[in-house]
Amino acid sequence: MPVITYRDALNQALREEMQRDDRVFIMGEEVGVYQGAYKVSKGLLQEFGEMRVVDTPITELGFAGVGVGAAMVGLRPIIEFMTWNFALLALDQVVNSAAKMLYMSGGQYNIPIVFRGPNGAALQLSAQHSQAWESWLAHIPGLKVVAPGTPYDAKGLLKSAVRDENPVIVLEGEMLYNTKGEVPTEEYLIPLGKAALKHEGDHCSIITHGKMILVALQAAEQLAKDGIRVDVLDLLSIRPMDVEAIATTVRKTNRAVVLEEGWEVAGIGAQVVDYIQRECFDDLDAPVIRVHQMDVPMPYAKNLERAAKPDLPKTIAAVKKVMYLEQ
């Protein structure tokens, strides 16, 4: 099986879906001539032309709105935001138009649109460019939200997102584009709303998503050296969330750590813990512990940024604490 980068997996998904359906087009800042800020759209302008790979001015609200209108009349737009931090300027169209149009039109208008781009912190991009957007967007009825953490998942989820009849948010980890993994040559889809068990154990469950899956898997390897076996559940889809998969792993291990990149208050982890206490309260042998970013805007200084982020040592410590191995 070929080993390719996360960005190339996304590129393959875009190319295959544009070849499959001529209603699919991509639009955003620098997606054409520059081939994408992170080179995800590399080669697409040359293959499909400027009518289907559309460079836009720096106007997120404008081209997001054009995308919504295009979806209303039967096209299938893929809107690339250079970063989800910039998408804040487009949230009126994402939240008030794309998410609500099917409902407000009494079912007359499906909005088959994908909004995608890098999410979360990179390295020393400071507070305004380091935010994790999952809980903001998953809060909105009418949006589907996915967060792939591997090249395999990135390709399969993006292809499913393009084919969905509803607005889908694809949150690509900003530090993941150069990461590598196995991706099949044959076509495959990953269904929206289904989690994946990435590592098996019976002592504790680590429930996570997006680029934190890499931290969780590293934690599983380190903990195994101490004889601690953990389940690692990758949510993949934030909305809809696979509550059955969450319940299955917690009932198996009786302990849970919820790991996420974002802030604590009203975070995705809070929603996961709510599901656990409703579905698995009598199965728990310990309170659920959350690992998340510190409750501060992301610092610029390298040492402070490192301290603010969720990481491997914090995850390992949480697992040991939930097992009563550390205080």
Cα–Cα distance, 79 to 81 (Å, whole number): 7
| Together in a domain, 293 and 318 | yes
317 band by pLDDT with thresholds 50, 70 and 90: very high
Cα–Cα distance, 31 to 46 (Å, whole number): 12
pLDDT at 4: 97
- pLDDT (mean) for 263-270: 96
The answer, yes or no, to whether residue 98 has pLDDT greater than 90, is yes
The answer, yes or no, to whether residue 198 has pLDDT greater than 90, is yes
| Together in a domain, 166 and 211 | no
For residue 101, give the nearest of 5, 199, 167, 27 by alpha carbon.
167
Q: Which residues pair with 125 in a beta bridge?
A: none
Q: Is residue 101 part of a domain?
A: yes
- pLDDT (mean) for 70-96: 97
| Together in a domain, 37 and 143 | yes
Cα–Cα distance, 156 to 189 (Å, whole number): 4
Which domain CATH number covers 310? 3.40.50.920
Q: Which residue has the tokens 């070929």?
A: 2
Main-chain phi, psi angles of 189, to 5 degrees: -130, 150
Interval 127-185: pLDDT, tens: 999 999 999 999 999 999 999 999 999 999 999 999 999 999 999 999 999 999 999 99
Q: Please check whether residue 159 is in contact with residue 17, taking contact to mean a CB–CB distance below 8 angstroms.
A: yes
Q: Which residue has the tokens 């804040």?
A: 88
| Together in a domain, 152 and 19 | yes
Cα–Cα distance, 240 to 146 (Å, whole number): 9
Q: Is residue 188 part of a domain?
A: no
Q: Please check whether residue 214 is in contact with residue 178, taking contact to mean a CB–CB distance below 8 angstroms.
A: no
Q: Which of 148, 182, 216 is the last residue of a domain?
A: 182
Has 139 been annotated as catalytic?
no
Cα–Cα distance, 243 to 245 (Å, whole number): 5
Evaluate the omega torsion of the peptide bond into residue 141 and state whether it is cis, within 30 degrees of 0: no
Q: Is residue 301 part of a domain?
A: yes
- Residue 58 tokens, joined: 């720096």
Q: Which of 149, 182, 215 is the last residue of a domain?
A: 182
| Together in a domain, 316 and 174 | no
Which listed residue (16, 29, 47, 60) is catalytic? 60
The answer, yes or no, to whether residue 326 has pLDDT greater than 90, is no
Straight-line distance from the first to the last Cα atom of the chain, in angstroms, rounded to the nearest whole number: 44
Interval 107-124: pLDDT, tens: 999 999 999 999 999 999
Has 60 been annotated as catalytic?
yes
| Together in a domain, 146 and 240 | no
The answer, yes or no, to whether residue 327 has pLDDT greater than 70, is no
- pLDDT (mean) for 266-277: 97
296 band by pLDDT with thresholds 50, 70 and 90: very high
pLDDT at 257: 98
Domain of 315? 196-322
Which domain CATH number covers 78? 3.40.50.970
DSSP 241-301: --HHHHHHHHHHHS-EEEE-SS-STT-HHHHHHHHHHHHHGGG-SS--EEE---SSPPPSS
Sheet holding 230-234, edge to edge: 196-199, 230-234, 204-208, 256-259, 289-291
Q: Is residue 112 part of a domain?
A: yes
The answer, yes or no, to whether residue 57 has pLDDT greater than 70, is yes
| Together in a domain, 14 and 40 | yes
Q: How many domains does the chain have?
A: 2
| Together in a domain, 290 and 152 | no
56 band by pLDDT with thresholds 50, 70 and 90: very high
Global pTM reads 0.96
| Together in a domain, 157 and 226 | no
Which listed residue (17, 29, 30, 129) is catalytic? 129
Q: Is residue 303 part of a domain?
A: yes
| Dihedral angle over CA of 278, 157, 216, 132, nearest 10 | -80
| Together in a domain, 21 and 127 | yes
For residue 206, give the nearest of 311, 316, 132 by alpha carbon.
316
Residues 6+ apart with CB under 8 A from 144: 161, 164, 166, 167, 168, 169, 192, 193, 237, 239, 240
Cα–Cα distance, 160 to 169 (Å, whole number): 11
218-244 core/surface letters (b: 16 or more CB in 10 A; e: else) = ebbeebeeeebebbbbbbbbbbebbbe
Residues 6+ apart with CB under 8 A from 160: 189, 190, 191, 192
Q: Which of 139, 154, 182 is the last residue of a domain?
A: 182
| Together in a domain, 38 and 172 | yes
